[in-house]
Every structure is written in C-alpha cells, then in structure tokens.
Chains A and B, each alone.
Chain A
Amino acid sequence: MSTVPLLSVENLSISFGGLKVIDDVSFTLEQGGRLALIGPNGAGKTTIFNLLSGVYRQDAGHVRLGGQLIDTVPSRQRIGFGMARSFQNIRLMPHLGVVENVMLGQHSRADRPGGLLAPLSFLGRSKARAEAEALLAEMGIEVMPGQDVSTLPYGIRKKIELVRALAARPRLLLLDEPAAGLNGAETEELMAFLDRISASGVTLLVVEHDMGLVRSLCTRAVVLNFGRKIYDGPTAEVQRDPLVLEAYLGPRHSDKSEASDVA
C-alpha cells in the first residue's frame, strides 16, 4: 500500500585509495520489484552490494530500507531488516555440511528466547533442519551425509548460496551473479525458481552478466560504468541504449535479433 520504495539508494559514493569506485549513484527499488544491476567488469556492482550489506561504509550518501535509514546499522543487523545476499566468489562455510550451511541462513530468524541454545538436531529431526532440507529439495539439491561442500561442483555451490540467502526469508534478496557457472538449461531452471520467489513477494536485486536472465527475469535495469550510473530504465530497452551498448553489451547484442539473444 505504501508508496515508500523498499530500497532507496541516495547519492552513494565510496573511494578506495583515491580511486572513486562508486560515484554518486542513486536508484530505488519498490516492494516486490525485480531490478538488475549490470555493468562492465569493475564497474562497482559488487561494491554496491557490499555497501548495502554493510561490509563497506560509504563515504557519502544514504541507504534506506523500507523508508528507514540504515546507514548506521551494523552489518550484522542488516539481515534482520530483511536483506539477505549471496556472494560473487562463493563463500560457503567449508566445514559445515550442506544442510548446515543453509541453516546458518536461518540464524537471523531465531529470535525466540533461548533460541540460540535450542538443540538443532535431535536424532536428525528438528524443524530448522527439516525446513533447510525442504528448501534444498526445492532447488533440486540432494544431500549426501558427510559430503564436503568444497568438493561440490561450482554450479551446485552457487545454488546452495542462493538457498542460504533465502533461508533468512528476506524481503530483499541481493544476488551476485546467480547464474554464473550454470548452463543454458540450468539457467532456465534458476529463472523459474526466482520467478516463484519473486511471486511470493520477495524483492530481487540481481547482478548478472547473462542478459537472457536479466531480460526475462527483471523488469528494470540500472547500468553502472566506472562507478557511475549510466542507465536506469526498463530492461526491454537497455540494449537500445548506445552508452550501454558501447560500455557493456558490445556490438553483437545490438546486431542480433531478440529471439536468438535469449538463448
């Protein structure tokens, strides 16, 4: 009902050692929206995620979540505001099992008193574990006991990261290249999955280089180049923007017809 956007980024800037990595970037994302954050390598997309989740502290600008200023909220508490993320370089916990990695994602929700000390697994049965297993099953990930996450194939690990973020039941999901390492068919499955997530009310902010996914999943795109916003508008038109074409997509995308591009 509210007209306040779920996420609003206002004049965000950060520099490292004199290098302006994010330069006065603003955009908003309404509740339930699907926004793609794209741009060439090193444009600052991951840096934006790091600013949103509090890994970095911005030099200037503000971030609002649901209208509330979260600039001073410590990174640890941001997930409690309903914001969960995945990482570009997979960061699963190597010594936790697959299910346990997902259960870690539920941590921010365990707010009932004594929650920290409630047993998680008594003879393998418990709500948290069951829920995590169900989520995994939904992604089609089968769990073998004792399987080391670090030995899993890249694509599977990427999916587990996504499930871990989902386990926090976020309002806003930040995904950093979710389709990296997936082939065409797998990317389609992922799209369908994200569609369902989005339909259930979760807002998506996706960094992705797979334009097929970007265009069929997201309605709007923000394009960064050298830390500046160079485009903000519907995904359908992004590849007609000359600036974007030159900096990001390359000639191939402008030449080809849309149909073959989706593949």
Chain B
Amino acid sequence: MLLEVRDLEVTYGRTRAVQGVSFGVAQGEIVTVLGANGAGKTSLLRALHGARKPQGGQILFDGEDMTTLTPAARVARGMALVPEGRQIFVSMTVEENLLMGGYMRRDDAVHGDLAAIYDRFPNLAERRHMKATVLSGGEQQMLALGRALVSRPRLIMLDEPSLGLSPLFVEKLFDLIRELNRDGISILLVEQNTHMALEVAARGVVLELGREMLSGPAAELAANPHLAEAYLGAA
C-alpha cells in the first residue's frame, strides 16, 4: 500500500467529522471516497495532507508514518492535494500560481512541466499573465489541478475536482485522471459525481457521518442498491 490510513479520527470541538476510518491506496491505484454533504470527506483529506491534526489513528505513506509530519514534509514525499474551494492565490498571476505548485521542487524542470500543463488547459495558457482573480470558476478549478500537478506527486488527492467544470471538461478531467494513473500516480478521489467516480476507480469507500459505511471494489459498490438510493439519485 502506498497510502495506508488506520482508525483515523478528526474532530472539531464537539463535532466528530471522521470517526475511525481505515483504508488504503495501493501504488498506481485509484480509490474514491463518497459520501453526502458533511460526511467528512474534506476533513479526511485535510488530515491526510496534514492541514488538520488527526485526534487519533495513523497515516502511513510508503510505509513511513506521516501522522505527525508537516504538510511540507508530505509534499516533499510526493503527496499533493487539490483542496476544496480551490484555494488559489488570487493576487498572483496564473503562471505564478503554477510556479507556487513547484515550491518544494529543487530541480529546474518546472518550466517544462508548465508547458505540459498549458497544453492540457488551453484556457490557462491564454490567461497565463492574468491575475487569477479574474478567472471563471471552472478556470480556477483547472488552475488548482494544474498547480497540484506541478509538484510531480506520487499520490494526488482530489477534493471534488469536477466542481464547476463543464460536461466536456469533466470528461477530459476523468481522462486526465486515467492518464495520470497510467503514469503510475496513485489517486484518492473525493467526488459527488458518483457515477463517473466509480467508473474510473478500482475501489471505493463510502462515508456516512464520519464513519466508514461501505467499502469494496468500485463495481460492487456501483451495484449496491443502498448506495444507488442514497447517492446516485433515481435513474
């Protein structure tokens, strides 16, 4: 397992957002985390990335205990997060935002990577010298994605990456996810677009009120009647 989560607990005062969740992401695997609003998905990712200290449990990355490490240490070891709400730097230009993604990198190849990202996101290429604040919602989402890619992660954690993207672009996004995965990058995907998430993922974890409700191969989950009712909406 590249990433292993054991009995993770995240609480905010009295609110217990994540309660004893355990799962793993293997090298080169896509795992999706599903759940209703407030299920604790974002809280889980924040804890995995180190933005929030977990109150209990253990996080192993590549066999190493990450639980007490800083986010910087995790980025250095190859974890990247596309956070909820994009969190881009609105007063910086698009290009500066992308460069910030390579903050932890010591090599000089960053500019080459930028070119690849501009190829993939033409909207960004056109606006590379504009302040990020004027970008449209979807463009900002692309920027957040691109920024995470610049750090050349081994594991990328996506918090609702399809949010605000047009259907065509959502397709592209999932293509991208597959492609990244083919390159050997592991992916932990939090999505509300349950269908597509289960389509692309190998395995899934379903959270409910912070607890692990279901987990298993994606195909099994997609066939689960309870899940269909709770998350997929009537067809």
Residues of A within 8 A of B (CB): 16, 38-47, 88-90, 151-156, 176-177, 180-188, 209, 211-212, 247-253, 259-260, 262-263
Residue of A16, A42, A88, A176 most packed against chain B (CB within 10 A): A42
Task: Select one of A45, A183, A247 contacting B192, CB under 8 A.
Answer: A183
Residue of A nearest to B84 (CB): A154
Add 13 more A-B contacts to A151-B12, A155-B37, A209-B165 (CB < 8 A). Answer: A46-B137, A89-B85, A154-B84, A155-B38, A183-B36, A184-B195, A185-B36, A185-B232, A185-B233, A186-B36, A209-B166, A250-B168, A263-B232
A-B contact count (CB 8 A): 119
A108 to B34, CA, bound (A): 39
Does B231 have its Cβ within 8 Å of any Cβ on chain A? yes
B53 CB, nearest partner CB in chain A, Å? 16
Residue of B nearest to A245 (CB): B168
A159 CB, nearest partner CB in chain B, Å? 8
Known contacts A41-B137, A187-B233: A248-B42 contact under CB 8 Å: no
Instruction: Say whether A42 contacts B167, CB under 8 Å.
Output: no
Instruction: Say whether A248 contacts B194, CB under 8 Å.
Output: no
Does B223 have its Cβ within 8 Å of any Cβ on chain A? no
User: For residue A260, which residues in chain B have a CB less than 8 angstroms away from its CB?
Assistant: 235
Residue of A16, A184, A250 most packed against chain B (CB within 10 A): A184
User: For residue B233, which residues in chain A have a CB less than 8 angstroms away from its CB?
Assistant: 183-185, 187-188, 212, 263
Instruction: Say whether B12 contacts A41, CB under 8 Å.
Output: no
User: For residue B138, which residues in chain A have a CB less than 8 angstroms away from its CB?
Assistant: 40-42, 209
Rank and list the top 3 A-B pairs by shortest CB-CB distance, nearest first: A41-B138, A155-B37, A184-B233
A181 to B194, CA, bound (A): 11
Instruction: Say whether B136 contacts A46, CB under 8 Å.
Output: yes
Task: Select one of A47, A153, A176, A182 contacting B42, CB under 8 A.
Answer: A153
Residues of B within 8 A of A (CB): 12, 34, 36-39, 42, 84-85, 123, 134-142, 160, 163-172, 192-195, 229-235
A137 CB, nearest partner CB in chain B, Å? 16
Residue of A nearest to B14 (CB): A144
A46 CB, nearest partner CB in chain B, Å? 6
Instruction: Say whether B123 contacts A42, CB under 8 Å.
Output: yes
A-B contact pairs, 5 of them (CB 8 A): A153-B39, A188-B234, A209-B166, A247-B168, A252-B171
A250 to B166, CA, bound (A): 9
Instruction: Say whether B85 contacts A259, CB under 8 Å.
Output: no
User: For residue A42, which residues in chain B have a CB less than 8 angstroms away from its CB?
Assistant: 123, 135-136, 138-139
A156 to B38, CA, bound (A): 8
Residue of B nearest to A184 (CB): B233
A176 to B136, CA, bound (A): 12
User: For residue A181, which residues in chain B have a CB less than 8 angstroms away from its CB?
Assistant: 37, 160, 163, 192
Instruction: Say whether B137 contacts A88, CB under 8 Å.
Output: yes
User: For residue A16, which residues in chain B have a CB less than 8 angstroms away from its CB?
Assistant: 134
Instruction: Say whether B192 contacts A182, CB under 8 Å.
Output: yes
Instruction: Say whether B234 contacts A41, CB under 8 Å.
Output: no
Task: Select one of A90, A185, A187 contacting B230, CB under 8 A.
Answer: A185
Known contacts A41-B142, A42-B139: A262-B166 contact under CB 8 Å: no
A83 CB, nearest partner CB in chain B, Å? 21
Instruction: Say whether B229 contacts A185, CB under 8 Å.
Output: yes
Residue of B nearest to A214 (CB): B167
Instruction: Say whether B195 contacts A40, CB under 8 Å.
Output: no
Instruction: Say whether B164 contacts A177, CB under 8 Å.
Output: yes
User: For residue B42, which residues in chain A have a CB less than 8 angstroms away from its CB?
Assistant: 153-154
B138 CB, nearest partner CB in chain A, Å? 3
A89 to B140, CA, bound (A): 10
Instruction: Say whether A154 contacts B171, CB under 8 Å.
Output: no
User: For residue A259, which residues in chain B have a CB less than 8 angstroms away from its CB?
Assistant: 235
